[in-house]
Every structure is written in C-alpha cells, then in structure tokens.
Amino acid sequence: MKKSYVILDRDGVINYDSAHYIKSPEEWQPIPGSLEAIAKLNRGGFCVLIATNQSGVARGFYDHDVLKKIHEKLTAELESLGGSIEEIFYCPHHPEDNCNCRKPKPGMLQKIQAKYQLDFKDVFYIGDSIVDMQVAITMNCKPILVLTGNGKKTLENHPDLIPSIHYFADLSEAVDAILSKKI
C-alpha cells in the first residue's frame, strides 16, 4: 500500500516562533494542539516530514548539536502522544549564501522527493510563511497556510494567495480538514 505524506514547516507551525530564533531545547515550545495534530495525522495513515529553514546555525546562534537536541525534544514530546516524524530536513545556511536548499528555493523538497519517491501532487505542505507557500506551489504540493506564527501576516501581505491555497487557524484545524477529506 502506498504511503501518504504531509510536509510541515517547523517554526510557527509546530512550535512558537521567535524573531530572536529558537536557540535551545528550553526555548522550543509547541503550539497548543500541534503535537496532538501530528499524532492524529499518523493515526490517519500519514507519514510526516519536516522541512525547515534554520539559518540560526549559519548566524552562529546555535550549532548542529543544539539543533539536534531541539529536534530530539520535539520527537520525544510527540512520541509521548503516540506520534512520530519520519524525518526532519533543514537548511542551515544564511540567506545570503544563495544555496538551493533554503526555502523558497526547491532543493530541500527535491531531496525529499528523491529520497521518498513522492508525487508531490498528492502531498500536503503546511506552513506559515510566504516562502513555504512559494516552495509548495513550485514543487506542485498542496499548499496549506496556518495562521499561527507568521501566517496572519503572510495572508494580509499576500492576498493573491487566497484563491490558490487553503488556510486554517492552526495545524489542528488543517489536519482535521485533511483527515475529513474536505480539501
């Protein structure tokens, strides 16, 4: 049986975001209901992947080891609720590095597509920023905007997105829509 996938951005979707970056496991705090929503996706037959820009590494705010510890906290808290993340992909580069993996460029999603042999037309991509929506549209994913994190600002600043995407208050509402096949 073919697996179904959902790709999530991290900051602003799963956990609270910060203009000062999430620099430690202690600073990483889940948005209420987000981990439960991921576990619900898993129970609904979906594998969950994360694709996240983490320029704080290149900026020197934290290193790969600290980022690994942050992700270990995320996965441990999620596992305590019966959920799991298949894999976390991240871009550690500075925006000025002009790498191909930093969203909205498609490199990170191309890596996911190659590794998992995905037809992205069947994959939901849930994010809170314009770069999330741009990469989802570029790669032919089904984009969903959540209004947590930068989502409200993204919707206000890019009203042209409204006809082409679904948007929901938070990850929990988005997951309910996916699982009820309303989108």
Helix runs in 53-150, H state only = 64-79, 107-116, 130-138
Structure tokens at 182: 């309303």
Catalytic status, residue 9: yes
Catalytic residue among 9, 17, 128, 170: 9
- Concerning whether 122 is annotated as a catalytic residue, the answer is no
Q: Which residues have C-beta within 8 Å of that of residue 33, sequence separation ≥ 6? A: 170, 171, 172
* 3 state SS of 88: strand
Name the amino acid, one letter, at 74: L
Residues with active-site annotation:
9, 11
